[in-house]
Amino acid sequence: MTTDSPSAGPSTTLGRKALKAHIQYDFVQANQEYSENGTADAQQLTSGPRSRTAIITCVDSRSSPEHFYQLKENDAIVIRNGGGRTNDPGAIRSLAIIQATSELKEIKVVHHANCGSLFYTDKWTKDMVTENDVRAPAGPYRDGCGCWVQAISFLPFCRKDDEASDDEIVKNSVKGDVEYLRNHPLIKPSVLVTGWFYNLATGIVEPVEC
């Protein structure tokens, strides 16, 4: 993983031109319709993923492997965190469990264009939480938030002087995250680790040479 100076100039909209207005979504009704329209064969849901593939990607709602890979139930395992970082302890924990309980042939590391991890730094995030502004959207955090946030690494993408664009920064983060997994003791040497860049504008998931 790169440890160069982090991205500069945090943005309150994290790369988006503007935050969309809040909408009411009826999750209960959506689930009811889903259950009535049929699901995958229950007998097919008792073993590991059919593709023997795990995908690590971002929590960003615009980056959805279930949609851009047209996945169905039990097609693949999807692990998500902010930025789709492989050095997140939760990602390693999940991958270790998956390998111990089922067969895994490939790990796809998928980062996406215009990711929020381009627009904040670790220090900025910790300062924002510690400040705990009561005027913030949805109000303040609970007491003690400052101590908790200092123990977390938020893993923003890192900028280098020779990188020409945000997309190049994201692609370089893919390379670093792939290398991290390829050398990690908890990832079996037999597992193929590949890197990918999701272009939000075209919907294409492009391979990144790693």
Which domains are present in the chain?
1-11+48-119+157-210 (3.40.1050.10), 122-155 (no CATH)
Outline where 102-206 has alpha helix (H).
122-131, 145-150, 166-182
pTM of the model: 0.84
pLDDT band at residue 64, thresholds of 50, 70 and 90? very high
Residue 4 CB: number of other CB atoms within 10 A?
Answer: 12
The whole-number pLDDT of residue 11 equals 45
- CA 84: distance to chain centroid? 3
Give the helix/strand (H/E) hosting 33.
helix 27-36
Tokens of 46: 């008792």
State yes or no: 210 annotated in a binding site.
no
What is the residue type of 56? I
What tens digit of pLDDT does each residue of 196-208 get?
999 999 999 999 9
The whole-number pLDDT of residue 46 equals 62
State yes or no: 112 annotated in a binding site.
yes
3-state class (DSSP) for residue 68: helix
Region for residue 39 given its phi and psi (left: phi exceeds 0; alpha: psi -120 to 50; beta: otherwise)? beta
CB within 8 A of 117, min separation 6: which ones? Answer: 7, 58, 82, 83, 85, 155, 156, 157, 173
Residue in the structure block whose two tokens are 């945000």: 166
Region for residue 147 given its phi and psi (left: phi exceeds 0; alpha: psi -120 to 50; beta: otherwise)? alpha
What is the residue type of 170? V
The whole-number pLDDT of residue 41 equals 65
